[in-house]
Structure 1
């Protein structure tokens, strides 16, 4: 507080207009995540902060506290909306689920009905190439695992400490993309439920989840009659090579076979060491061979590629 006294000619105070200001003195090698003191949580200032890492830890800790307060306020508002909706004409049906997310899309005809996709933890029964069944991999597999983990987390949040829920297996999974609200999921889960006495039993429970979209804005665009060519540039580093085959399969069925007015270009990014061996040990040789295969399969299609050398690819 010495600098405040020198520059403002005002002494530091612990109270002002009925408000109390708390401070907290940090110990050596202090870890905010292990602190449970209410005095620390109420502190307006903490000292001493001797290095940047300690500053980042403190910033993260107090940011998490503010974020949790925001989550609590959101939950309180959602509960109030549910309570008020009882007084509406349609009763509880007037409050959409989840609260604050747009209502489901209502089709005007049978052609607008949204399709549900069936999946398990290993397979999905809606494939790009119209196969009846294909293996889950990549981002789709990560998505399914994340949705199941979220469902278990929410169930434990609801029933603990009376019950503890563990996943045994996913029996059925359904998902569909709703353009007005986001991705919707319906899961039939086989669960192991353990009570406080340690007794357990296996049950089946259906849960519904929504991964909502962010704010949607419809931008009016002028109608253009002439066909405009779309250029798609795919940057690749060595770690991305395993995804190219799957991407090309999907792109070929959606663009090459339908003669879309689009040009696909690959940008091969080499680090300095990889660039030295490009003539006799090209890391992208397999990808270039795949490009040649598709150009022979679709004679009207040309897939250009560009090679660049850089130490740190820009994100």
Structure 2
């Protein structure tokens, strides 16, 4: 049978040649990635370097590692599109990417440009932003295999809406053998509409791309030669499904089935647009969070994560200090009062999360503040972490069920105390004694204040200012809308003149008046000239005879000033002290902090007692004279750059009110800037009758009537009036 053997050999040779030719052709057709440089630099025939045009860029090489070369832990590859490169991707680069124990690269389509030169962009040649991005995803994985496989043990494929906790990721990966083939993430089989339609076998799955896909170096190297073939033979439009199918077929591993991966690689499918904007309870146990579409939320989540890390480090320090300390055991009796008035009362929290104040008349029962809820949740989490430190070794675990009730108090010189009555699940999971029992326990918790650090504010300021090229203007620029009210404006001007006269060299003030036409306009102009004659810089913006809008007026005033100007939005009814203006300056930080002072608002003088009327000075405080307006946001201090960053005032609002609340809500939602609220004894709003236009929108009208009612008289005075007629 020699002839048959020869024929078989010829046929085998033809098939082999055809296979090799087809493979080489497919390999050449895969898009060639290029870096963020404007020119491709190819050196040599086999081993070549691709170098970024940035002066400080790293060199990526296909050459083999040098003997003794030690690979890094993790390379994170972020896939983004041109429309998100300067928003989502840049916020990723400036937040969690700075804390990854390895390298972060951002992959974009060919020709994508960015205004941020510091981002490490890798442009994929021949790839566009077509969605779904199968071609971009496969080209990125192949680029990693060809250029970075010898540099890192692990590779994480991520999207621009993913948050990664770098320290937790590192701890997790160091517990896994990187020399074996692994693909790690949250396993998926498709949503309810797609289940059974993704051509997955009975034992197949895929790692969902949203929460991130982690591949070991071994997996990356084994799948790389087959990516072109997998790209040409896709069964669905989902790139994560197809990548998982390719790895399953050619590497022989599937995504981790472990149930715990749902917590570690967390994917919120309930409300994508609002994911993690308000509730971040998953952050404590997660390695990744997905999706975070809003850059402001990304910054907020990052800030929360750094707070958790700071809290953990402080707890470690406290434990170490306790081991070294010879102090007595802690007790809830941390101070011995000499008088009844010195006793610190406890506030009560019921199981419906309603707080009952014990020592404040003007504090009705109300829903527990978000700050207290957050602190209590963190405290309970920390408690159970300590309870369960060695739980698995003992075969039992405690789980929080619910809070029955609690007490809390703040010792001003000591810290915060809690007494919590909790329902717990006590679980034994080691056979044959498996059981679950509901138990009730008390927890006595103390949060002790740390030591004062005198340089903390200076360090905070310097760190935040380092991110900006702007230099703070030392002048406090007061912006005030004005229409009529000549006598009140004359009082304001005379007060400002006296304050500036004794303010000293460290208090520089200017006044910008946004002037509307009125019957007593000439009197206002005479007052303006008086201010100018006293060497106070005054500028006037003419609005003419148009409908009054405080939001429009304040924005017009701000527009005339530079980006580094410190703005203080005020009203003509305000009086202030020199110290108050200095505190406004110190509490406002460029690119970091906005200040909404809580002003003291006078009641109608008709409701004052005779003793109150004898005090001519406005800067006297008492329950009969007025109240601190905790829900008033009309006075605010911020730098113009920060005002523009949060979106400025709503210029569509006409008439009285609401524009200040809108600005405050924007500042809170911004996430990047810290908002400070504090009672300011040096700011007093002089009482004047309030007129509410009944033609205003309902929301504004309700706010106006509420403010009018609150400013009439104190609760004590109203009670006395009622008593007289009953």
TM-score (normalised: structure 2): 0.25
1:115 matched to 2:345? The reply is yes
Which residue is equivalent to 1:164?
397
Alignment of 1:58-73 (within 5 A): none
Coordinate RMSD, CA, aligned? 5.2
> Which one has the largest radius of gyration?
2
Shift in CA distance, 272/151, structure 1 to aligned 2, threshold 3 Å: closer
Match of 2:409 in 1: 176
Q: Summarize deviations over 1:255-310 as a string: whole Å, max 9, x none.
A: 78442597876147686586452349x86374685256324542599xxxxxxxxx
Shift of 1:151: 2.7
- 2-side partners of 1:71 and 1:217: how far apart? 17
Contact 1:187 1:206 survives alignment (8 Å) = yes
Distance 1:291 1:157, change over 3 A: farther
Normalised TM-score (structure 1): 0.51
Maintained 8 Å contact 1:117/1:126: yes
Q: Is the 8 A contact 1:115 1:176 kept in 2?
A: yes
Counterpart of 2:422 in structure 1 is 189
- Superposed displacement of residue 119, structure 1: 1.0
Per the TM alignment, residue 113 of structure 1 is displaced from its structure 2 partner at its CA by 1.4
Q: Distance in 2 between matches of 1:251 and 1:189?
A: 42
Note closer, same or farther for the CA distance 1:74–1:298 as it changes in structure 2 (3 Å cut): closer
Deviation of 1:124 after TM superposition, in Å, equals 1.6
Question: Are 1:35 and 2:410 matched, yes or no?
Answer: no
Cα distance in 2, alignment partners of residues 178 and 296 from structure 1: 35
CA distance in 2, matches of 1:23, 1:68: 34
Give the 5 Å matches for 1:218-233: none
Q: In the comparison of the two structures, how many residue pairs are matched?
A: 221
| SS of equivalent residue, structure 2 residue 70 | strand
Using the alignment, how far apart are the partners of 2:364 and 2:420 within structure 1? 20
Structure 2 match to 1:79: 323
Structure 1 unmatched runs, 5+: 1-21, 41-63, 86-93, 219-227, 236-243, 302-315
Contact 1:190 1:203 in 2 (8 A): yes
Instruction: Pick closer, same or farther for the CA change 1:257–1:298 going to 2, 3 Å.
Output: farther
Instruction: Find the counterpart in structure 1 of residue 113 from structure 2.
Output: none
Distance between the aligned counterparts of 1:297 and 1:184, measured in 2?
Answer: 34
Cα distance, 1:161–1:186 mapped onto 2, change above 3 Å = farther
Tell me the distance in 2 between the aligned counterparts of 1:258 and 1:144.
36
Structure 2: distance between partners of 1:252 and 1:258: 9
**Distance in 1 of aligned mates of 2:417 and 2:372:** 14
Is 2:706 aligned against 1:293? yes
How far off is 1:72 after superposition? 5.7
Task: Return closer, same or farther for 1:179/1:192 CA change in 2, 3 Å cut-off.
Answer: same
Q: 1:188 to 1:256 in 2, by over 3 A?
A: same
* Number of the residue aligned with 1:148: 380
Compared CA separation, residues 184 and 261, structure 1 to 2 (3 A): closer
Structure 2 residue runs without a partner (length 5+) = 1-67, 73-151, 157-168, 179-307, 455-575, 589-595, 604-620, 637-642, 660-696, 715-726
Indicate conservation of the 8 Å contact 1:170/1:190, yes or no.
Answer: yes
